[in-house]
Amino acid sequence: MDDERSDEALLTAHLAGEPLAFDEIVRRHRDRLWVYALRIVRDHHDASDVVQEALLSAFRHAPRWRGEASVSTWLRRIVHHAALDRLRRRRHRAAVPLTESVDVPLRRDPILDRERALAVEDALGRLPLPQRAAVVLVDMEGMAVAEAAAVLGVKEGTVKSRAARGRYRLALLLGHLRPDGTGRGPIGNDPGPGDVQAPGGHVRSPAGGER
Amino acid sequence: MNERAPRGGGPPGDAETDAALRHGEGEAPRPGEEELFAALDRTRADLAAAPRPAAPEGLAAALEAALAAERSASGPPPGRPVPTRPGRPRPPSRPPSLPPSRPPGRRQGTRRRLLAGGLVAVAVAAVVAGVVGVAGVGSGQGAGPRPPAPTAAPAPPGPDDPLVLSTRDLPQALRSGLGAREAGPGSDPAGRAGCLAAHGLPAGTVPAGTRAVVLDGRPGTLHVLTTGRAAVFRLLVVGPACAPGSPDTLADVEVGG
């Protein structure tokens, strides 16, 4: 039977000593947390490790939760930091995209959803980490800017800036935007296969720097 | 944070950045920005429509087991403030690292623990911590929690050998069965699904581990099943005749809790 209590009620119950209240929180959030971790660390095994480390940390440090953020936001923040730690430990792998100088549009086939999904995930992986995190939270998880700011520990304006720059860069990578800054047609009119234009040199792109 | 401006990009605050920011605020495009805004709209649509990758099958069981091990190591739930010792560190409770079961070709040299490994580790912790209780149709029926009989412990088999054990020792098979995915009669998804259905399990049930066993001298297949309860696993051993309508049950016990 599903436990209908809110996350906050469950965490309070956990703190009061109810044995399995935290497990219910884990059941509710684990899959979404794993997807978020995956999109940050870009590795299935690391994502699983990150989620496990983060949830154990949350379990141990639950008394520190003061209710200033929702349990969902609190967990996401812990996963985010665990993911950053994982990336720091993974120094031999690039934490920043290799394609910094040129946003090369990815080939994509609008007919096949799977390829579309892969193109999106591939393009996401080429974003600088702060932009990627902002885009994932706001545009993929539908999180409000204020909540995303709480997860990332930055100001709301920073989230907006990072998300906007990330979207611009993704528009180039996904082929929605030509390197000269012009679009490819009206919304909903997908480019045909092979319609991706190789960059013709200088790519205009909003700067990736943090605000 | 390693965020650097693309070398080919314009400086912060240039026209594209400003337009992208205004797009993000939901403003209408200014003259000449229609195509850019349309491209950004399409990008957001792609992002929103991207399917969520599926979490690994073993994630839920691994987390359950990890939490169970954490509980065993740290005692009862924390309880609200312990004012006199707010920063008191808890004893280390991470499961030990385990031999990786990573497929060949994955990069080496990292200390990442795999889910299957973690499952075994925490299961061991749970069993050793004496939290094993037995309930069900096996020979331990009604026996309540009891320590395993050391003299009857099965010899550790090789990874590809059938696990030889008696019904009495079945709870100890948890550590060997969790995370196991070996070839054999239990590895065929269709056959396994039919067999599990004969035991009333819903279609699509994927065991947390499957392993060939010899139970009380009879060949069979051990399926480790999650129960929806933390650190409680169902150990189902079926004979070779297990199929839809023919459960061929050799043992069926729950361990942990």
3-state DSSP call for residue B250? strand
**What six digits make up the tokens of B129?**
């911590």
Domain boundary among A96, A129, A159: A96
Q: How many residues does chain B have?
A: 257
**Integer distance in angstroms from the first to the last C-alpha of chain A?**
47
For the stretch B126-172, pLDDT in tens is: 444 443 333 333 333 333 333 333 333 334 445 556 777 777 777 77
Cβ <8 Å between B51 and A117: yes
Q: Answer yes or no: are the C-beta atoms of A3 and A24 closer than 8 Å.
A: yes
Do A69 and A83 sit in the same domain of this protein? yes
CA distances for B192 relative to B35, B137, B139, B203, B254, angstroms: 54, 21, 24, 10, 19
Q: What's A60's domain CATH number?
A: 1.10.1740.10
Residue A56: list chain B partners with CB under 8 A.
66-67, 70, 93-94
Q: Do A65 and A165 sit in the same domain of this protein?
A: no
User: What 3-state DSSP class applies to B122?
Assistant: helix
Whether residues A91 and A113 fall in one domain:
no
- Is there a contact between B7 and A197 (Cβ–Cβ < 8 Å)? no
Single out the residue in A96, A128, A152 at which a domain terminates: A96
pLDDT one digit per residue (tens) for chain A, 211 residues: 677 889 999 998 988 888 889 999 999 999 999 999 999 999 999 999 999 999 999 999 898 887 778 999 999 999 999 999 999 988 655 544 444 434 555 544 545 555 666 689 999 999 999 999 999 999 999 999 999 999 999 999 999 999 999 999 999 999 898 776 666 543 333 333 333 332 333 334 454 444 4
pLDDT for A86:
93
Given an 8 Å threshold on Cβ–Cβ distance, is B23 in contact with A95? no
Of B3, B35, B112, the CB nearest to A131: B3
A114/A78 same-domain check:
no
The residues, any chain, with a CB within 8 Å of residue A147's CB and separated by 6 or more, are A70, A73, A137
Q: Cβ of A165 under 8 Å from any chain B Cβ?
A: yes
Last residue within a domain, chosen from A47, A77, A96 = A96
Report the CATH number that the domain containing residue A150 is assigned in CATH. 1.10.10.10
- Residue with tokens 């020792």, as numbered in its chain: B169
| A189 and A151 co-located in one domain | yes
Question: Rounded to the nearest 10 degrees, how much is the dihedral formed by the CA atoms of B149, B150, B152, B155?
Answer: 140
Verify that A120 and A176 share a domain, yes or no.
yes
- Look at residue B237 and tell me whether its pLDDT is greater than 60: yes
How far apart are the C-alpha atoms of A168 and A176, rounded to whole Å? 10
Min distance A17 CA to chain B CA atoms (Å):
5
Alpha helix (H) residue ranges in A61-128: 71-89, 113-125
pLDDT in tens, B22-75: 999 999 999 988 999 999 999 999 999 988 999 998 899 999 888 888 887 765
A76 and A121 co-located in one domain: no
Kindly state whether residues A92 and A105 are assigned to the same domain: no
Contact B242, B248 (CB under 8 A): yes
Contact A97, A55 (CB under 8 A): no
**ipTM summary value:** 0.77
Residues pairing with B252 in the sheet: B236
| Domain residue limits at A138 | 100-211
A26 and A56 assigned to the same domain: yes
Answer yes or no: do A123 and A200 share one domain: yes
Tell me if residue A45 falls in helix, strand or coil.
Answer: helix
The answer on A80 and A152 residing in a single domain is no
| Residue pLDDT, tens place only, A95-138 | 444 444 345 555 445 455 556 666 899 999 999 999 999 999 99
Q: Which residues from chain A sit within 8 angstroms of residue B60, using beta carbons?
A: 27, 30
Tell me what pLDDT residue B89 has.
36
